[in-house]
Chain A
């Protein structure tokens, strides 16, 4: 069975600090996709990144970076020099390559960036 665990329910950091959001996943499939989404207070989920299971390269996009490690089944997300606008709920998600194309979401981590 597929499962995504985000153990950190809520995190608060002071602006300009770095923060890492943890994500651990379970799947029996050898081919799968991992995602991160951001949900700001407005409610709409914003797609941030996709990573497929064959690509373990870390990725950096501005202040955001992602660390994918198959050995530990983790796909962690780091925000460097956090800003108040980063305050949101962040969801990690998993999809295998079955025909139904469903995505399994973690329960999310609520991030508070304090000014």
Chain B
């Protein structure tokens, strides 16, 4: 089945540790996105990539880093510089003629 996978679903880390969230898609989409969602809030864009080996900062990129070495994969690293990393993280991809994005199941990160 085509889709977007994110792993793990729940992630716990100690404060000060870097952590990498996985996002893989087999939809052959060119563009991929990372969003952060806090309770009762909408989605805020962290980073996005429209093509392999290229990515741009979104609205809240500070404290995060990404790579896009393969079309299928767009991992997000939450660094120790991110002051409030506990949140729900959603990955999305877009392909084809239209602008809608398709989302993965999300990773809930809790920093203790």
Contacts and interface: CB of A to CB of B under 8 A. Distances in A.
Contacts of A43: 88, 90, 105-106, 108
Interface in B79-98: 88, 90, 92, 94, 98
Q: Which of A9, A47, A100, A101 has the most CB of B within 10 A?
A: A101
Contacts of B26: none
Contacts of A102: 45, 48, 58
A45 B100 contact: no
A103 interface: yes
Q: Which of A37, A97, A103 has the most CB of B within 10 A?
A: A103
Contacts of A64: none
B4 to A, nearest CB: 9
A91 B105 CA distance: 16
B100 A100 contact: no
A64 to B, nearest CB: 16
Nearest to B98: A50
- Band of interface residues on B: 20 to 34
- Interface SS of A by simple majority: loop
Given A47-B100, A103-B99, A105-B42, A42 B105 contact: yes
B108 A107 contact: no
Contact of B104 (A33, A44, A95): A44
B96 to A, nearest CB: 11
A101 B94 contact: yes
A47 B41 CA distance: 18
Given A44-B105, A44-B106, A101-B50, A50 B42 contact: no
Given A42-B105, A100-B50, A101-B50, A33 B99 contact: yes
Nearest to A35: B100
B57 to A, nearest CB: 11
A107 B44 CA distance: 10
Interface of B: 31, 40-43, 45, 48, 50, 56, 58, 88, 90, 92, 94, 98-106, 108
